[in-house]
Amino acid sequence: MAAADVVDAYLDSEPELRARRLAHGEWGISVPAASLGGHSLDVGLRISDELLRAQAMALPGAGHLDPWMLLWWNRQTRLVRFACTRSRDIWVHADVPVAAVDARTVDRMLGLLVEAAVAVREHAAALR
């Protein structure tokens, strides 16, 4: 089964994610606020350059958060990593090779991405 078909089948089996197909090999996923402690998460998922890539803005304008701490976190994460824009938006990214895509891998990647977003949100809230 092609990677796009695997992702389609996985997203169809998880209706609470509110996924929509944007184009061949591209999806938008909305994780409801109720699942994440009050703040929803919009995830972009696409197949590009032989990778299944996911990204989500975890925290907008986190000026009070030390972005260097994210570099330290990046050394401890699995599959996911954090990035910070000049405007201090915190993003979470994940990539897996297309050749490794199966339902379990998609589930793991998205689960770790959501877990990372929740962790950085909780950390930022504790600093306020």
Q: Concatenate the DSSP letters of all residues of 47-72 into one string.
A: EETTEEEEEEEEES--TTS-HHHHHH
* pLDDT score, position 21: 95
**Consecutive 10-residue runs of the chain (128 residues): their mean pLDDT?**
94 91 96 82 96 96 84 87 93 96 96 93 88
* pLDDT score, position 84: 92
pTM of the entire structure? 0.91
Length of the chain as a residue count: 128
| Residue-by-residue DSSP string for 79-100 | SEEEEE-TT--EEEEEEEEGGG
- Sign of the CA dihedral with 5 first, then 57, 74, and 86 last: positive
* pLDDT score, position 69: 84
Domains belonging to the chain, first-starting first, are: 3-127 (3.30.1460.10)
* pLDDT score, position 51: 97
* pLDDT score, position 90: 94
Token pair for 6? 């695997």
CB 54 within 8 A of CB 93: yes
Q: What confidence tens digit (pLDDT) does each residue in 42-76 have?
A: 999 999 999 999 999 999 988 888 878 888 888 88
The closest alpha carbon to 81, from 50, 53, 46, belongs to: 53
Token pair for 73? 């976190």
